[in-house]
Amino acid sequence: MRKLEHFPNLVTMFFTRAAEKGDAPFLWAKRDRAWRATSWAEAARQVASLATALKAQGVQPGDRVMLVSENRPEWCLSDLAIMAAGAITVPTYTTNTERDHAHIIENSGARAVIVSTQKLADVLLKAVLRTTHIETVIAIEPLRPRPSGVRSCNWHGLIEDHPADPATIAAQATFARSDTACIIYTSGTGGAPRGVMQHHGAILHNVAGCADVISEDLGWDDEVFLSFLPLSHAYEHTGGQFVPIGMGGQIYYAESLEKLAANMEEAQPTIMFVVPRLFEVLRTRISKTIAKQGGLSQKLLGAAIEIGEKRAAGTLRLVDRPKALVVDRLFKPKIAKRFGGRMKAMVSGGAPLTPEVGIFFQSLGVRFLQGYGQTEAGPVISCNRPKVGVTVDSVGPPLPATEVRIADDGEILVRGELVMHGYWRNPAETERVLHDGWLHTGDIGVFDAAGRIKITDRKKDLIINDKGDNIAPQKVEGMLTLQPEILQAMIAGDRKPHMVAVIVPDPEWTQEWCAASGTKCDFATLAQNSDYRTAIGRAVERTNKELSVIERVRRFILADTQFTIENEQMTPSMKIRRHVLRQVYGERLDALYKG
């Protein structure tokens, strides 16, 4: 099996791979309806030239440079060039508001920003002009009109005007593994984002660990990665960008969620890093597509899930084998084609995966490896490994050279090179989570007999009812959203006698219900319709049957809108923002206890 070299920094790793791979394809993007590749050699030329241009614009070692762009080749090249110039990348979500951008500019003290499109610049520039730090705006696509009050440059023009030899720039990359590579602002489920200082060694530790999992458990070939999650998220930044670079792989940039299924078939990826929400979306779409086909396809899906559930429970019998053989030969190959036909594994992280969703995909023959991590740890801490055994309720053993222990109160503690050096300009928060080199994750968990970590809940998200019982909200919310009537849910009940919920009904189910009942499909009408609420209530009751007494949802309200990134009720990594939802619905939820 291949092993990853011990690189001194991320820039050296990139230039080493580029020299080895030469004219082989590296970065793929769809332009004019066709996939077009940037070779490793061309990527190295552009990175070297842009790094030289940044220095010419006054960027000094240690300066922070913001990067505001959707996933595309220029994102990767800009990130590498910033680091090659000795500066620190500050990735920023494309969904950020003017207020978000202003906070990050002020907190990071960024001197320059690279932005991709006019649409993103329209929001960003408002923040730039109300702060005092940004001196240079570099636009990947032309901005019209050019911003006033700040120096502006064209990304492509800078590269052409500052030609540089990749070998020369590579030789200048003398940064240590302990040097800060980037400051990634956490998405803020509970307040203002904090800047996590990730050093080169933290990310390199993750790259080596992930490559070890792929090499030892799946086989290291010419890997193809499909990048979908925002690159400003630590999970995709490491897993979807630097792991492929370390392994000399190719990266395809997905166009959108709507085109993701088509992109999978076209790119034929071998590895994807995903979040549970994507699995939930794909599960719904696959189930509905097969339900519409009916006939044999629907019967095979039912048989596949039945066999999968028995396998997961360890109750598969000899008499089930003929049915399992039919599913393996007639059904699973068709599903595999939908994922490109070469998928070795989809690696899920960022949030807990509901076991029922995991069993669904295992039943279809889609291998997923659930992992666990935090931005503060590179971000990957552990990952399921086939050679150890994959279970839907665990996140696998720790990565190599990663220490994990469980504190007396059940909190997961992590130590190793992957752990951040602290939060940028926030010593109080740093001191709160780092003690004697141990990162206090805030997650509660245990080790199983095979040494795999099981996450039981988020320490700060635990709901404690009026009797002192602990309730894990993610578990209940995940089970509610398995019902076809429910798209999203948030439960509440801290210091209360029972659980209540905010529920977002599923739009497709709602359309079908309206058509069947002859009801006008608008929120004002449906919110007052007792039959509609009763139908959703039945979905809640089905869920309650699978929950303990203290977990059951006794009453609920309907949300005004879906939880989205745009209304700030979800983070860019698709986690619900509980503090925002409590502000919006708190009074109505409290009223449920009085009625």
Q: Which residues, including other chains, have CB under 8 Å from residue 3's CB and lie 6 or more apart?
A: 211, 212, 215
CB 141 within 8 A of CB 72: no
Strand 34-39 to strand 25-31: parallel, antiparallel, or no bridges (unpaired)? Answer: antiparallel
| Chain centre distance of CA 307 | 30
pLDDT value at position 260?
92
More confident residue, 523 or 317: 317
How far apart CA 185 and CA 375 sit, in angstroms, is 9
User: And the tokens for 97?
Assistant: 């508001």
User: And the tokens for 439?
Assistant: 């990162």
Assess if residue 477 is contained within a domain. Answer: yes
| Chain centre distance of CA 154 | 30
pLDDT value at position 228?
92
- What's the number of domains the chain is made of? 2
Query: Which residues on adjacent β-strands are paired with residue 446?
Result: 454
E runs forming strands in 204-279: 224-227, 250-253, 271-274
36, pLDDT greater than 50:
yes
CB 371 within 8 A of CB 299: no
Q: What is the CA radius of gyration of the chain?
A: 25
554, pLDDT greater than 90:
yes
pLDDT value at position 193?
79
132, pLDDT greater than 90:
no
CB 215 within 8 A of CB 1: yes
Instruction: Report the CATH number that the domain containing residue 566 is assigned in CATH.
Output: 3.30.300.30
Q: Which of 35, 29, 165, 10 is nearest to 89 (CA)?
A: 10
Assess if residue 293 is contained within a domain. Answer: no
Domain boundary among 175, 196, 227: 175
CB 62 within 8 A of CB 245: no
How far apart CA 284 and CA 306 sit, in angstroms, is 17
Domain boundary among 145, 175, 205: 175
Q: Identify the residue whose tokens are 């499109």.
A: 117
User: And the tokens for 381?
Assistant: 């801490």
Mean pLDDT of the chain: 91
pLDDT in tens, 316-352: 888 888 888 988 888 888 888 989 999 999 999 877 7
pLDDT in tens, 179-220: 999 999 985 444 567 999 999 999 999 999 999 999 999 999
Strand 136-139 to strand 180-185: parallel, antiparallel, or no bridges (unpaired)? Answer: unpaired
505, pLDDT greater than 70:
yes
Question: What average pLDDT does the segment 549-566 reach?
Answer: 92
Question: What average pLDDT does the segment 361-389 reach?
Answer: 92
Q: Identify the residue whose tokens are 């659980």.
A: 499
Q: Sign of torsion, CA 514 515 519 525?
A: positive
Assess if residue 522 is contained within a domain. Answer: yes
**Count of other CB atoms within 10 angstroms of residue 439:** 21
Question: What average pLDDT does the segment 352-374 reach?
Answer: 87
Q: Which of 505, 471, 507 is nearest to 489 (CA)?
A: 505
* Whole-number percent of the chain with pLDDT over 70: 97
Assess if residue 289 is contained within a domain. Answer: no
User: And the tokens for 356?
Assistant: 């029922």
What HEC string does 55-105 produce? HHCCCCCCCEEEEECCCCHHHHHHHHHHHHCCCEEEEECCCCCHHHHHHHH
Assess if residue 527 is contained within a domain. Answer: yes
User: And the tokens for 415?
Assistant: 């130590």
Domain span at 498: 462-591
Q: Identify the residue whose tokens are 């990310």.
A: 203
More confident residue, 507 or 392: 507
Assess if residue 242 is contained within a domain. Answer: no
pLDDT in tens, 383-423: 999 999 888 889 999 999 999 999 988 899 999 999 999 99
Lowest mean pLDDT across 39-48, 74-83, 580-589: 580-589
* Cis preceding linkage at 379, omega within 30: yes
Assess if residue 572 is contained within a domain. Answer: yes
294, pLDDT greater than 90:
no
Instruction: Report the CATH number that the domain containing residue 36 is assigned in CATH.
Output: 3.40.50.980
pLDDT value at position 190?
47
pLDDT in tens, 245-287: 999 999 999 999 889 989 999 999 999 999 887 887 888 888 8
Q: Which of 247, 223, 236, 218 is nearest to 378 (CA)?
A: 236
* Cis preceding linkage at 333, omega within 30: no
Domain boundary among 106, 140, 175: 175
Assess if residue 398 is contained within a domain. Answer: no
Distances (CA, A) of 210 to 63, 81, 216: 30, 24, 10
Band (pLDDT 50/70/90 cuts) for residue 70 is very high
pLDDT value at position 189?
45
pLDDT value at position 187?
58
Band (pLDDT 50/70/90 cuts) for residue 548 is confident
467, pLDDT greater than 80:
no
Q: Which of 478, 458, 349, 371 is nearest to 411 (CA)?
A: 458
